Amino acid sequence: MTSRSSVTTARPSTEGRAVARTQTLLPGKDGVGTVRRTTLPGGLRIVTETLPSVRSATFGIWAHVGSRDETPTLNGATHYLEHLLFKGTAKRSALDISSAIDAVGGEMNAFTAKEYTCYYARVLDTDLPLAIDVVCDMLTGSLILDSDVDAERGVILEEIAMTEDDPGDVVHDLFAQTMFGDTPLGRPVLGTVDTINALSREQIARFYKKHYDPTHLVVAAAGNVDHATVVRQVRRAFERAGALTRTAGPIAPREGRRTIRTAGRVELLGRKTEQAHVVLGMPGLARNDDRRWALGVLNTALGGGMSSRLFQEVREKRGLAYSVYSYTSGFADCGLFGVYAGCRPSQVHDVLRICRDELDKVAQDGLTDEEIGRAIGQLSGSTVLGLEDTGALMNRIGKSELCWGTQMSVDDMLGRIAAVTPDEVRAVARDVLEQRPSLSVIGPLKDKQADRLHSVVA
């Protein structure tokens, strides 16, 4: 990603404290949308985006750790830890944490992904100091008691069971396993029943100490916020916990599987479901690949809306599925491109054959200029509309800082999308869609149907 940065300024230290470095990454217009970054001694980064016209603020802390950082025996530890950080600190009980935010009408939550974890709170701008204090306390002072580990184990096992009851979710985990095999990217974020039951308090505590060091964290705040005030409050909260003195050194680059498993794999999971759930896909692009803008346009035209090829061919013209779409996932060193559909089990082969035929057509002939123009417009509009609240803005600047180390303005993003040419879309279509796909299916499939499905990826 690109960024526009002003000259770095060092603020004089006060009370004997070391110097922090502050940059203006995006100047905004008349102070609106200004993005600043301060790096504290010890490596903690704090980024803010200022919007004086709103009355809310979202505060989040991003950790550079996800399920792909787990060993096989630690599968699910990142998500387990996410739960435990809400269970209490030396300063607050679990009830104190939740009631503090509830009392001001705010909302607080967290999520774990393959390569990062985020904890956040959205509140009125006047309650931002409270949100900062609560979230920072959770991240720096979690007790991780044996009793909490045992209690939350049951909650996580219920979450796994709830997910297992939704084959539309499970099929995506199955597809990751199909493509990556028994590797960190191929394992489920939640872990498995066996790994969750086997995790101990000591294992989780070591994981916490290793990955929640200031050099592994990015603090992000967006809304009606003042950058200097946020920095001061965050620094005070981390210093009280002694967290700024704990440094593990710079984050090492992830060493992932740069080569995805052999193409043409088929994974079938028999379930007594009303629908068959399928994902047909192939390797995509890493998140920093310059071709990702063209791939975004391609994905939108293929399966990103009601006017997309897949929606029109599968649902509108033939009525074979209610839900059909395409998607991309980009990681540090690789990616996925997939097509999902849910349909009656008797129709699964027809649906997959149509999807495969459309992918082949686009790989060979490309998209029309009209399709590309419509996709650029749709992608541009959805990009802007998706940034209409402070939570989305916090996600954008936090993830950008964590994953790319830079910031891109909305105008720059729209410019990159608008600059995508038909030739670039056709080139990335050939690069991605000409690869032999793999397939994951969940449903009540008979043996003859299973045999036919292998022909789709042949």
Active site residues: 82
Angle, nearest 10°, between helix axes 201-211 and 146-164?
90
Residue among 320, 325, 368, 365 nearest 345 (CA): 320
The sign of the dihedral angle between the CA atoms of 48, 54, 59, 62 is negative
H helix runs in 15-61, sequence order: none
Q: Six-digit token pair at 150?
A: 């045992």
**Rounded-to-integer distance, Cα 117 and Cα 112, Å:** 4
Residues 427/285, Cβ–Cβ less than 8 Å: no
Token pair 């936090």 is found at: 398
Residues 337/292, Cβ–Cβ less than 8 Å: no
- Most distant pair of Cα atoms in the chain: their distance: 76
Phi, psi of 367 (to 5 degrees): -100, 160
Burial of 182: CB neighbours in 10 Å, binned 0-12, 13-18, 19+: exposed
Amino acid, res. 321? A
**Rounded-to-integer distance, Cα 458 and Cα 448, Å:** 16
Query: Coil, helix or strand for 270?
Result: strand
Amino acid, res. 322? Y
Report the DSSP beta bridge partners of residue 82.
none
Residues 95/211, Cβ–Cβ less than 8 Å: no
Tell me the residue ranges of DSSP E strands in 304-347: 323-330, 335-343
